[in-house]
Amino acid sequence: MSSKANRTTPLGLRISAIAGLLFLHLPLALIFLYAFTTEEKSFEFPPPGLTTKWFGVAWTSRPDIWPPLYLSLQVAAIATVLALIFGTLAAAALSRARFFGRETISLLFVLPIALPGIITGIALRSAFDIMSIPFSVWTIILGHATFCIVVVYNNAVARFRRLNGNLVEASMDLGANSFQTFRHVILPQIGTALLAGGMLAFALSFDEVIVTTFTAGQQTTLPIWMLSELIRPRQRPVTNVVAVFVFIVTLLPILAAYYLTREGEHTGGSSK
Amino acid sequence: MTTAVAERQRGIGGAISDLFFARPQLVTFLLLTPPLLWIGVVYIGSLFALLLQSFYSLDDFSGLVVHEFTLSTYAQLFEASNAQIILRTVTMAALVTVASAIIAFPIAYYAARYARGWTKALFYLAVMMPLWSSYLVKVYAWKLILAKEGIITWFANELHLRWLLDGILALPVVGGPSLSFSYLGTFLVFVYIWLPYMILPTQAALERVPANFIEASADLGADPRQTFRTVIFPLALPGIVAGSIFTFSLTLGDYIIPQIVGNSRLMIGQAVYTLQGTAGNIPLAAAFTVVPMLIMAVYLWMAKRMGAFDVL
């Protein structure tokens, strides 16, 4: 902390770090640029001309965009609620107890994102086949909730670990029962972490395509719509307009989640 | 005082609270059962269903699945064409992992050791945003970049480097008609998409390197390079291994990136997708998915031994 000399950054390190960050961000700028191009048959660079008409086209003359959008919103909302319930329960249990097999169980909850999505997808699909479950909104939700649990779990478990046990004991000593303690002491402290986890889960589900292609059957979510547009493009700039929209819809919850968990660091109830 | 408390604790809520207090294991059990049932039944159950299918086989004449135990489906994995798919995918995953580690390290190192205050927040957001933003949008962005008429070709023309681009595309194996139909393109997109998964754990590991270790190393006469090689890097390694779990596993199972940016030679994910879809050969598709599962099981076991899970 004291040595000031260490703070001067080596130039090579600074350049490679900044180059790395540019590599991460510049490609996304092109998505925005191509939403305004006048060329709809190829990805010509630089765009021969700029126009805003594709936003109007996407809004008015492409009815094929709306049903997938509604389906995606519906799936993401329900999957998020399920993930919030199960993820919080799992985090509450695994952060407070020490018992045999605890490590294995926590690995179990991480497994759906540690294993490639295609395995989750085909496994669910073959299970639906075996049990003759027809594809529906619920088969999509089932898959999404399974990997969204991890996101909520990760967020919640970190906050539960920081939760000050003294506050819970104090609450009980003062006569509150378990439910009152949960409502008035625990929930206010984990609330922002849950909200953040829920938002990330929503963003993850809204955007998911790999598992969904296996559990959707003939249904089309917004990412599946986009995938088919990528493989068989029609009006390419319209796909860009939708891509910009999807980008913003997933970005806002992420920023909100970041903001919430940052604030949370100061209100963790840890006594100094 | 105590009687007053006892008075208030009566009622059903109070009785349950007393029970919870007396038996904390019961609380854990009650909390854990619903999520465990979900993961256990939905996820693990499905995995076993899949595993079961891989021991069935497809009748070549009728095209129907024969529900009898056999290992013949697994034997098919070793046929030249299938073994090549596996080898190709594992090679790609390994290369993507190494490249991600190399690009990620300076970013993680800078963020962990030099960034302070608002630059630290900026770095964190700059990694989190691409990590969470839409997967398909990111793949699509690279379709735009790598297209024959796209920005890379334009830059190559402007800088009079067209010969270099054409030379790279003319290379055997990695080249192709254009970047978006070559292994090189697939590789670039994989590295781009999974890079944040490598940065975050590496940064987490670097942040845990105690500052006094580095000072001690310097006091004992090590120059900065020696300190890096013998103190910082070994302590950062578990983080890199943790990151590689993601880059490796995600590359093994992805079928969308090589489908959109890549040549026609299949990777494991695409093979699984076509086998279960148009070909209807669920047993072979299932056997194919066992390959990444086995690889990842070994990988996770080794990673755990290296302490990678502490960084996650």
**Domains located in chain B, CATH noted:** 2-53 (no CATH), 80-310 (1.10.3720.10)
Interface-testing mutation among B5, B28, B33, B140, with chain A (most A C-beta atoms within 10 A): B140
CA–CA gap between residue A17 and residue B281 (Å, rounded): 46
| Structure confidence by residue, pLDDT tens digits, A69-87 | 999 999 999 999 999 999 9
Q: Which domains does chain A have, with CATH numbers?
A: 63-264 (1.10.3720.10)
Percent pLDDT > 90 in chain A is 18
Cβ separation of B32 and A200 shorter than 8 Å?
Answer: no
| φ/ψ bin of A100: left (φ > 0), alpha (ψ from -120 to 50), beta (otherwise) | beta
Mean pLDDT of A263-272: 39
Residue in the structure block whose two tokens are 């940052």: A262
Distance from the B147 Cα atom to the nearest Cα atom in chain A, whole angstroms: 7
Q: What is the pTM of this model?
A: 0.85
Angle of helix B24-37 relative to helix A102-114, nearest 10 degrees? 20
In one letter, which amino acid is B96?
V
Q: Quick check: B102 pLDDT over 70?
A: yes
The closest CB to that of A17, out of B106, B125, B140, belongs to B106
Interface-testing mutation among B134, B203, B264, B267, with chain A (most A C-beta atoms within 10 A): B134
Angle of helix A187-207 relative to helix A66-96, nearest 10 degrees? 140
Residue B190's pLDDT is what? 95
Nearest Cα to A110, choosing from A152, A163, A75, A162? A152
Residue A126's pLDDT band (boundaries 50, 70, 90)?
confident
Cβ separation of B47 and A123 shorter than 8 Å?
Answer: yes
Residue A261's pLDDT is what? 76
A contacts of B123 (beta carbons < 8 Å): 21
Distance from the A36 Cα atom to the nearest Cα atom in chain B, whole angstroms: 14
CA–CA gap between residue B113 and residue B304 (Å, rounded): 26
Cβ separation of A243 and B143 shorter than 8 Å?
Answer: no
Residue A266's pLDDT is what? 41
Cβ separation of A30 and B144 shorter than 8 Å?
Answer: yes
> Does the interface ipTM go beyond 0.85?
no
B58 φ/ψ angles, rounded to the nearest 5 degrees:
-105, 130
A contacts of B280 (beta carbons < 8 Å): none
Residue B164's pLDDT is what? 86
CA–CA gap between residue A255 and residue B66 (Å, rounded): 51
Question: How far, in Å, are A210, A225, B158 from residue A207 at the CA level?
Answer: 10, 11, 36
In chain B, residues 191-210 whose CB comes closer than 8 Å to chain A: 192, 195-196
Return the SS3 of A37: strand
Q: How far is CA B34 from the centre of its chain?
A: 27
Residues 6 or more apart whose CB falls under 8 angstroms from that of A147 comprise: A112, A113, A117, A120, A204, A208, A211
Distance from the A51 Cα atom to the nearest Cα atom in chain B, whole angstroms: 18
Of the candidate ranges A104-108, B208-212, B291-295, B308-312, the one whose mean pLDDT is the lowest: B308-312
Cβ separation of B150 and A200 shorter than 8 Å?
Answer: no
Mean pLDDT of B33-38: 86
Nearest Cα to A266, choosing from A180, A159, A152? A159
